[in-house]
Amino acid sequence: METNKSIQMPYSKERRNIVVGLSVGLLAFLSGFPFKATKVSAANETIYYPVDYGAQLNTPNFDNAPIINNLINNMPPSGGVIELPAGEMWIHSPIKINRSYVTIRGVNAGTRSHVDNEEQPGLNHPGGGSKLILGTNCQTGIVSEKRVGAPRVSSIQLENFLIQGRGTGKGQIAVNIEHDNDAVRIIGVSIIAVGMGLRSVGADAFTVRGCWISEVHDGLHSLGSSQQLLVANNYFGAQPGGRSIYLENPNWANIVGNNIYPDGHVCLEAKGAQNCTFTGNNIQSYYTGAVIIKGDGNLFSGKVQALRSSGNWLQDPIGRDGLYGLIHVDGNDNHITASSINSDQPETHTRILIMGGNGNWVTNTKIYGRSSNRKVVVNGSCVDTRIVHSASSLDVDKANSNTTIVW
């Protein structure tokens, strides 16, 4: 007869949650940080509520960043979620995410625009939602700092809250992921009144989706080299002298379905772009050079509208003349297709400029608005350029280039 056999209890979801909770509690005890009970969601997320650890809402002089940073630093190896409640959470120093698997999320993004103040005088930050408010001396809201020799960070996620600065001329950055990173996701975040909305360096599989980044000097800057960048279904609006979307050396980026408002001197610029796709974007601009694509093997398809402000075509804020092109392409094997270009530029200004390279095509693109014989301009050094069902020979200035026109 067998005796003393152990009984193995099934490892249920409830038991797993208890183990996670005990692990967090032990980590808190060892670290000396006064953790309180946290919630473990059905998805096994460990959720931290900053107000349970001394964070204060609607208190402009209180700095909540140190409390949030302590929570991040004392998370278990699997990471966790910082959940921001509805209301204003002020910070006077950066929130630092120098580890992987950290999520900061709010209940919703709340108000978006300063226009609300005009409609409802007396409200400093009207509307509902979770708001992260940057104090005057807080130059960066959320940062992942560059650390020499440190492993790259992965799976940082920001979602469903508002970040508001003190004005577009203060040089503040809402989010700065300056450390090499994988799979950072910015989802449903509203950003207003800062110098730069999002800045990322060395990003792989970086996602920006469903955000409202407007009333900022610059929108999104992706610097260094990036791979598989996805920027989809957002709203961008830079200010004069700024750029709404700027990509440096992107590889296989997908910039899809965004609304890009006028005012910035560049709506979309991709420098050193390789095999990227820019499709379904609705782009409006007051200036030449609204779209700049420099690189090889890129596809552009979308709507670009050149507008006059107050009845006048505005002088370019960085001094480009009308020959630069509303759309400026320089490189090899780039393709503009199935696009609609509605231009109110002066007649002598260039709509599409193929500045240089081999094998660039403009096909099935409607170019209309003010009449012009410079709908497409091809630099004389270009080779094997093709303009198909987009402009007649009377509308194309091909200089001495090797260009085929099919109308």
* DSSP per-residue codes, 242-293: -EEEEEESEES-EEES-EE-SSSSEEEEEEEEES-EEEEEEEEESSS-SEEE
Q: Where are the alpha helices (DSSP H) in 112-259?
A: 115-119
Strands 181-182, 259-260: parallel, antiparallel or unpaired by DSSP?
unpaired
* Residue 365 confidence (pLDDT): 98
End-to-end distance of the chain based on CA atoms, in angstroms?
A: 94
Q: How confident is the model over 62-111, as pLDDT tens digits?
A: 999 999 999 999 999 999 999 999 999 999 999 999 999 999 999 998 76
pLDDT of 119: 53
Q: Counting Cβ atoms within 10 Å, is residue 344 exposed (0-12), middle (13-18) or buried (19+)? A: middle
| Of 315 and 262, the one with more pLDDT | 262
Chain centroid, CA 161 distance in Å: 15
* pLDDT at residue 317, rounded to an integer: 87
Q: How far, in Å, CA of 90 to CA of 314, rounded?
A: 38
Domain assignments of the chain as residue spans, ordered by start: 265-407
Q: Report, as an integer, the average pLDDT of 334-357.
A: 97
CA-CA-CA-CA torsion sign (210, 216, 219, 224): negative
- Convert the pLDDT of each residue in 260-288 to its tens digit: 999 999 999 999 999 999 999 999 999 99
* Strand intervals (E) in 275-351: 277-285, 291-296, 299-306, 327-330, 335-337, 340-343
- The pLDDT score that the predictor gives to residue 89 is 96
pTM: 0.88
**DSSP symbol at 399:** T
